[in-house]
Amino acid sequence: TSPGTGHPAGTNMVDEITGHRRMRRNRKADWTRRLVQENRLTVDDLIWPIFLISGENRRESIDAMPGVERLTVDMAVEEAKRAADLGIPALATFPNISMDRRDETGSHSLASDNLINEATRAIKKAVPHIGIITDVALDPFTSHGHDGILKDGQILNDDTVSQIAQAAVIQADAGSDIIAPSDMMDGRIGAIRRALDEAGHQNVGIMSYATKFASAYYGPYREAIGTGGLLKGDKRTYYIDPANSDEAVREAALDVEEGADMLMVKPGQPYLDIIARLKDTFAMPTFAYQVSGEYSMIRAAAANGWIDGEKVMLESLLAFKRAGCDGILTYFAPEVATLLARR
Ligand code: PBG
């Protein structure tokens, strides 16, 4: 008989339509589903973005990101230990710089003892085997919240590039393993590569925020690092228009040529098509940043009982793997890693 029909084979209408091809055979049991599963999420896919504040022994909650905290460096070291124990390969650090250290040009980004570099040193010392990924964009350090130097209402490209290339060397001196520039200035990848090499940092990699879109999904992050209230205007003269896909491919092509080791797409879920195109086009290690807005939307809907938060979290991350990602920056990292370890 045909599967599940009770009819002799070939005598029922569905068999006539499908020609005996039935997709449900491979879905019939847990073991068949496991055998044919094409993509899997593992702890090796996770990069955990953490927020830093100065001081000691303090954690601050972030209203727009329930479950995420700003950490003093000593607390960040504790969390780095926990992450390493869970098997999370790397952390990405983002500082909330005190307002008196912010200025027009983001000059504190060049201080070798600033919060990012202090955290890198402390984490590397206590947990040498966890990867540290640092951002060189100026937004945590500028009084206007832009990623570059602002003059007469313009973000200066070339001046910004030379400053972030210097900041990259200082971050590498502190022990950063991968420089991840999120500023979207033209020519930054090549300039950072050259500066790192000249300083003897040939083994420090570059994960380019290759396609960073001018997105509304960054809102909660701006509360986390305290740029939300500062930002004048928007970032559309340097981030990519969410409407554009070919432009994203051309942007990524430049970063590959200039020496990027890894590409990132940001935000993540609304841009799965971009991830798939970049992976197909460049065959580079490709990452997604599941940004603050994506995180908070899942948390908020789950808190209201509108979705199953745990299931949606796992599905959202698996979708990145299916789209072609090698890894994902996600605020869910420790929670997912804990879940995966229990399976
Ligand atoms: C800026 C930067 C942003 C994020 C990280 N670095 C975007 C922005 O503020 O414009 C967003 C991360 C997130 O939303 O989780 N260089």
pLDDT tens figures, 193-240: 999 999 999 999 999 999 999 999 999 999 999 998 999 899 999 999
Please report which confidence band the pLDDT of residue 11 belongs to, taking 50, 70 and 90 as the band edges: confident
Alpha helices in 138-245 (DSSP H): 157-174, 188-198, 219-225
Q: How far apart are the CA of 13 and the centre of ligand 1, in A?
A: 55
Positive or negative: CA dihedral 171, 150, 220, 57: positive
Q: Is the peptide bond before 267 cis (omega within 30 degrees of 0)?
A: yes
With a 6 A CB cut-off, is 164 part of the ligand 1 pocket? no
Tokens of 37: 């599963």
Q: How far apart are the CA of 17 and the centre of ligand 1, in A?
A: 51
Please report which confidence band the pLDDT of residue 343 belongs to, taking 50, 70 and 90 as the band edges: confident
Tokens of 337: 């890693």
- Say how far apart CA 203 and CA 114 lie, in whole Å: 23
The answer to whether 251 and 260 are in contact (CB under 8 A) is no
Q: Does the model's ipTM exceed the 0.95 cut? A: yes
With a 6 A CB cut-off, is 294 part of the ligand 1 pocket? no
Residue type, 19: G
- pTM for the model stands at 0.95
Q: What are phi and psi of 14, to 5 degrees?
A: -65, -40
Q: How far apart are the CA of 192 and the centre of ligand 1, in A?
A: 20
Q: How many CA atoms lie within 13 A of 320 on its CB side?
A: 30
Looking up tokens 């460049």 gives 282
With a 6 A CB cut-off, is 182 part of the ligand 1 pocket? yes
- Say how far apart CA 208 and CA 284 lie, in whole Å: 11
Query: What is the average pLDDT value for the chain, to the nearest integer?
Result: 96
Tokens of 176: 């950063």
Q: Is 294 annotated as a binding residue?
A: no
Distances (CA, A) of 103 to 108, 109, 158: 8, 10, 18
Q: How far apart are the CA of 321 and the centre of ligand 1, in A?
A: 22
Is residue 172 exposed (0-12), middle (13-18) or buried (19+ Cβ within 10 Å)? Answer: buried
Tokens of 189: 């990848």
SS3 68: coil
Is residue 34 exposed (0-12), middle (13-18) or buried (19+ Cβ within 10 Å)? Answer: exposed
Q: How many CA atoms lie within 13 A of 162 on its CB side?
A: 3
With a 6 A CB cut-off, is 137 part of the ligand 1 pocket? yes
The answer to whether 134 and 120 are in contact (CB under 8 A) is yes
Q: What angle do CA 64, 300, 270 make, to 5 degrees?
A: 85
Mean pLDDT, residues 313-330:
98
Residue type, 23: M
Which residue out of 218, 238, 269, 299 has the highest number of ligand 1 atoms within 8 Å of its CB and is therefore the one to mutate?
218
Q: For ligand 1, atom 3, which residue shows the shortest CA distance?
A: 218
Please report which confidence band the pLDDT of residue 8 belongs to, taking 50, 70 and 90 as the band edges: low
Q: Which atom of ligand 1 has the smallest separation from the CA of 219?
A: 14
Mean pLDDT, residues 232-261:
97
Residue type, 335: E
Residue type, 128: P
Mean pLDDT, residues 146-165:
97
Residue type, 169: V
Q: Angle 309-323/333-342 helices, nearest 10 degrees?
A: 100
With a 6 A CB cut-off, is 144 part of the ligand 1 pocket? no
Report pLDDT digits (tens) over 43-102.
Answer: 999 999 999 999 999 999 999 999 999 999 999 999 999 999 999 999 999 999 999 999
Q: Which atom of ligand 1 has the smallest separation from the CA of 220?
A: 14
Q: Which atom of ligand 1 has the smallest separation from the CA of 217?
A: 14
Segments of 213-339 assigned E as strands? 262-266, 286-290, 327-330
Q: What CATH number does the domain located at 38-342 have?
A: 3.20.20.70
Looking up tokens 């605020």 gives 331
Domain boundaries, the chain: 1-37, 38-342
Which residue out of 134, 142, 147, 232 has the highest number of ligand 1 atoms within 8 Å of its CB and is therefore the one to mutate?
147
Q: How far apart are the CA of 171 and the centre of ligand 1, in A?
A: 19
The answer to whether 320 and 290 are in contact (CB under 8 A) is yes
Q: Which residues have a catalytic role annotated?
A: 212, 266
**What integer pLDDT is reported at residue 115 of this predicted model?**
98
Which one-letter DSSP state was computed for residue 288? E
With a 6 A CB cut-off, is 147 part of the ligand 1 pocket? yes
